[in-house]
Structure 1
Amino acid sequence: MNKKLMVLLCMLLTVSLLAACGQQEPAVSSGDEDVEFEGVKFKLAHVVNEDDSFHTSAVKFKELVEERSEGKIEIEIHPNGTLGDERTLLEGMQIGTIDMGVITNGPIANFVPEVAAFELPFLFANHQEAYEVLDGEIGKEILKRMEDVNLKGLAYGERGFRNLTNSRRAVTTPGDMNGLRIRVMENPVYIDTFQALGANTVPMAWAETLTALQQGTIDGQENPVVVIHSFKLDENQNHLSLSRHSYAPATIMMSLKEFNNLPQDMQQIIQEAAQEAAEHARAVNAAGEELQLQELVERGMEITEVDIEAFQEAVESVYEKYEDQYGAYIERIQQQLNR
């Protein structure tokens, strides 16, 4: 090979190498749809048993996400508080050690105070009023606020309308509450509500409550019918008063960090599946409540209605106390419901 040809080949090779070095690998980001998503496995935790509506939400959510992501997102459900109580789960989601959860509204209020507005006593007259607000502008606004504390609120499932149980006597008026030791969630609105009704409030986590009821260190508690039924509270609670004093959502949520790490198409799947799972749990609750009440009666529980107007009058002080904190939300909710 002559010298001129060799020089020409060397020059061509040098140019090719320089061009190759100038090419950069495409940037990889969580929202880049051009990057192949290899998949992820999430742990979803809640604190109640498999008969509860929380688990109904979780199972439906898992099914929808896994199907629509074609198996790229797997969800492993951990019920019964095996990964911790609700405060522990919320703190875990904040730092990314817990991926997902279905969490009662009450404990969330310790992180995002605005959610407690939904649980002011007798705010909603029925389920449809609650759904209209939660699925509308106000509900979405408060879900968005959860991002300020590194949580991703996805949708409002259902805890339901809460009712009072106790082991001592039938309660039909606020006066019947005097002296009863009632467990409430560790949430100021619930504490103030039951103090206004005359009870001795005992704030505690749910896992501790079951033991306290069995040992008789508290007289009663308040929860939706599905909880009373699924945890067989009739075994040590003789009286159920259908007070329907508060409607409680149960938020399907996840770590904001983990949500942001997903590509946009997977984020959309997560969002849509959460809303559908929430609506599914609501429907299951509605269909099952009458049967659950009937079974509680058959198992020996005495069920009574309460004087709603007397209860409403007794808790007026709660609205006065929280006027500065939640007054704007209360006004917007009442406007939305045409009151």
Structure 2
Amino acid sequence: MRLTTIRKAALAVLAMGLAAGAAAQEATLRLVSAFAENGIYVQRLQPWINKFNAEGKGVLQINFIGGPKAIPTFEVGNAVKTGVVDMAMSTGAFYTNVMPESDFLKLTQIPVAEQRKNGAFDAINKVWNEKGNMQYLARMVENQPFHIYTNKKIDKPDLTGLKIRITPVYRDFFQSLNANVITTPPGEVYTALERGVVDGYGWPIGGIFDLNWQEKTKYRVDPGFYDAEVSIIMNLPAYNKLSQAQRAYLQKQLLALEAENGFWTKYAADETARQEKAGIQAIKFDAATSKAFVDKAYEVAWASAAKQSPEVAARFKPLFSPK
């Protein structure tokens, strides 16, 4: 009787030890979004997080903390750098305060799958590791060109006299078009348009309906330029703490996330049609003017990049550009 009791107790202790070992092997990563929770980017990320957690039990989990109400948009990069959170979904334009090179990601003109093959991803991570204390994990948005949206019609690429809301993404380009530029968080743009504080703004082809900006927007200037970059970044020490199995699992799920990027091409077409239906008129230039407009966007941006960080810009440009 006593032996049976001892045996049972021993088995219970062993089971507890195995459970504790399994729990110790599982890690939870805190993730925050620089974008609002009701927006398309978080909507696309949530199913991925659910799948990640369902398949990662005992290995790796993600705790989604929330959007800008948890950590303000322009503070997210520093929160990742300092380890306040482990991961973030953001765009480089929102953490240029951590490192100006983050804004260079808009200049990629090749798919993320090719960036992984041609050395671009490794080059990015060398800079992110050294300057940002971060690991650049995955790019989850592609084929989302930026546009100028305005309430005043223009007949040429000239923004003289217009007050345009900007982020670092297009500051230099819009200034080269003679705009008066104003920086505000996305959450303040609707009111700024309503009160006439700004005449327009820069934004990708998608997402304006998430913020109801279509109510205060009359025109979209075509063609688009650059490519909106939304990516997953991670605190470098937190990344380095992961076991080999955890890192392999994370990489598997990140590649699965990038494999869904084909969604964005159709989304861009759908959003263009939706804008037209909402009464937003497209301003189009002739072929030569359109080409010059886009060429100028890249020339200005690469010149600015070379001024900010010559060595990094020189390293990135051939890796980001089509052959």
* TM-score when normalising by structure 1: 0.76
1:21-56 C-alpha deviation (Å, 9 max, x unpaired) = xxxxxxxxxxxxx98634333332213345534214
Going from structure 1 to structure 2, the CA distance change for 1:229 and 1:56 (only over 3 Å counts) comes to same
Residue in structure 2 matched with residue 168 of structure 1 by the alignment: 152
1:329 to partner: Cα distance: 2.5
Is the CA contact (8 Å cut-off) linking 2:116 and 2:122 kept in structure 1?
Answer: yes
Q: CA separation in 2, counterparts of 1:291 and 1:333?
A: 27
For 2:163, the aligned partner's letter is: R
Q: Secondary structure at the match of 2:98?
A: coil
For residues 219-247 of structure 1, what are the alpha-carbon distances to aligned partners after superposition, in whole Å with 9 as ceiling and x for unaligned?
Answer: 11111122223222110111112331211
Task: Describe how 1:120-139 pairs up with structure 2 within 5 A.
Answer: 120=107, 124=109, 129-131=110-112, 134-136=115-117, 137-139=119-121
Question: Within 5 A, what are the aligned runs for 1:187-226?
Answer: 187=168, 190-226=170-206
Cα root mean square deviation, aligned: 2.7
Contact 1:182–1:220 (Cα < 8 Å) also in 2:
yes
Which amino acid letter does the alignment assign opposite residue 74 of structure 1? Answer: Q
Q: Could you say which residue in structure 1 is the equivalent of 2:7? A: none
Change (3 A) 1:228 1:140: farther
Match of 2:87 in 1: 100
Distance 1:80 1:144 in 2: 28
The amino acid that maps onto 2:185 is A
The correspondence for 1:275, drawn from 230, 255, 265, is 255
State the one-letter code of the partner of 2:31. Answer: L
Aligned to 2:123: 141
Distance in 2, matches of 1:131 and 1:119, equals 12
Alpha-carbon separation, structure 2, partners of 1:41 and 1:322: 36
**Residue 181 (1) aligns with residue 163 (2):** yes
Match of 1:110 among 97, 105, 114: 97
Q: Cα–Cα, structure 1 residues 221 and 79, in superposed 2: closer, same or farther, change >3 Å?
A: farther
Correspondence for 2:209: 229
Is the CA contact (8 Å cut-off) linking 2:90 and 2:230 kept in structure 1? yes
Between the aligned partners of 1:44 and 1:322, the Cα distance in structure 2 is: 29
1:330 to 2:314 alignment: no
Amino acid at match of 2:150: N
Residue 241 (1) aligns with residue 224 (2): no
Quick check: 2:136–2:234 contact (8 Å CA) kept in 1? yes
| Alignment partner, residue 65 of structure 1 | 52
* Structure 2 equivalent of residue 7 of structure 1: none
Letter in 2 for 1:89: V
In the TM superposition, residue 218 of structure 1 has moved relative to its aligned partner by: 1.0
- C-alpha distance 157-241 of structure 1, shift in aligned 2 (>3 A): same
Distance 1:57 1:172, change over 3 A: farther
TM (norm. structure 2) is 0.79
2:63 is paired with a residue whose SS is strand
CA offset digits 1:163-220 (Å, max 9, x no partner): 1111222x45212x211111111x2x62111101121111232233343233321111
Q: 2:23 and 2:37 mapped to 1: Cα distance?
A: 35
Q: Given the superposition, is the C-alpha separation of residues 286 and 135 from structure 1 closer, same or farther in structure 2, using an over 3 Å criterion?
A: same
Task: Structure 1: give runs of 5+ residues left out of the alignment.
Answer: 1-33
Q: Is the 8 A contact 2:163 2:198 kept in 1?
A: yes
Ranges in structure 2 where 5+ consecutive residues have no aligned partner: 1-20
Deviations 1:292-332 (A, max 9, x none): 22222222221233442231465545544544522342244
Q: Which has the larger radius of gyration?
A: 1
Q: How does 1:148-159 map to 2 (within 5 A)?
A: 148=130, 149-158=132-141
Shift of 1:266: 1.0
Q: Secondary structure at the match of 2:242?
A: coil
CA separation of 1:296 and 1:99: change in aligned 2, threshold 3 A: same
Give every structure 1 segment of 4 or more consecutive aligned residues whose post-TM-superposition deviation is greater than 6 Å. none
Q: Which amino acid aligns with 1:247?
A: D
**Residues 1:119 and 2:100 are matched in the alignment:** no
1:59 aligned counterpart, secondary structure: helix
Conservation of the 8 A alpha-carbon contact between 1:144 and 1:153: no
Pair 74,179 (structure 1): closer, same or farther in 2 beyond 3 Å: same
SS at match of 1:84: coil
Compute the displacement of 1:152 (Å).
Answer: 2.0
1:67 is displaced (CA, Å) by 3.0
Contact kept? 2:190, 2:212, Cα under 8 Å: no
